[in-house]
Amino acid sequence: MNMSSESLLVVLFVGLVAGWLAGQFVQGTGFGLIGDLVVGLLGALFGSWLLPQLGIHLGTGLVGAIVNATIGAVLLLLIVRLVRGGGGGGWGWQRNWWRR
């Protein structure tokens, strides 16, 4: 598969925007520029697989791609947070639960 430099820039832009937006929605999960890009790209893959499975089609174009990737990235970050045991290095909800 050949990808032109413009296509690569669009994919990187969508991934970066989606990763940043997902970091804004899921507080405490900022990964920096490179981390947000990776989360956005993985979220785009996850969203483009999951949403059609659920019968959700957001359309085509740049805005649709960003929304799709953002939804996938938010879901990905929530799954990572569940696996890690909450935000803040795994101590957020566990510490508060222990004090009750």
The pLDDT, as a whole number, for residue 17 is: 87
Domain count, the chain: 1
Q: What average pLDDT does the segment 89-100 reach?
A: 46
Q: What average pLDDT does the segment 29-50 reach?
A: 81
Least confident range of 31-40, 50-59, 67-76 = 31-40
CA atoms within 13 A on the CB side of 93: 7
Residue 2 covered by a domain: no
| Domain housing 17 | 8-86
Least confident range of 9-18, 24-33, 44-53, 66-75 = 24-33
Cβ-contact 63, 88 below 8 angstroms: no
The pLDDT, as a whole number, for residue 29 is: 60
| Residue 89 CB-density burial (10 A; 0-12 exposed, 13-18 middle, 19+ buried) | exposed
Residue 92 covered by a domain: no
Residue 59 covered by a domain: yes
User: Could you tell me what percent of the chain has a pLDDT over 70?
Assistant: 79
